Amino acid sequence: SAQYYLPNGVSPDVLGYWYPSDEPGMVGSDTIAVTAGAENPVLAHHFLNYLLDEQNALRNFGWVGYQPALKAFSPSYLSDEGLVPANLESAVVTSEQYASGRQLLQLSPPGREVWDNVWATLKSG
């Protein structure tokens, strides 16, 4: 979705993306769930089914810019549909990359300390 943040008139050709070819890269996904105490679980499941419908997922991707976790959308398909610039097809995570990728689930306490220190430095200018 980076192309939508470019100034008017700037081509997405200026953008690039690198993903390691020799080892697993970082991957991630957001989660949507129906809680056990949901007030209207049937409606919630219908909403999830709506989001997982390929055409609705494609429209949603076009609006929010986040890749849906559906196998139906290859990098070339998303490029052909005009949702991903051709030069950024490598930014689309394939099923194979997702399966072998590394997910950052939680920082270790020392890692969290480093993160907090860097963030504090960044905020202080």
Would you list the domain boundaries of the chain? 2-124
pLDDT at 97: 86
pLDDT at 113: 95
Cα–Cα distance, 45 to 5 (Å, whole number): 33
Cα–Cα distance, 39 to 41 (Å, whole number): 6
Do the strands 102-103 and 26-27 form a parallel or antiparallel pair, or are they unpaired? parallel
Q: What is the pLDDT of residues 11-58, one digit of tens each?
A: 999 998 887 778 788 888 778 889 989 999 999 999 999 999 999 999
How much is the pTM?
A: 0.68
Question: Residue 26's beta-bridge partner residues?
Answer: 102
Q: What is the pLDDT of residues 68-119, one digit of tens each?
A: 888 889 999 999 998 899 999 988 888 888 888 888 777 888 998 999 999 9
State the DSSP code for 98.
H
- Name which residue leads in pLDDT, 10 or 26: 10
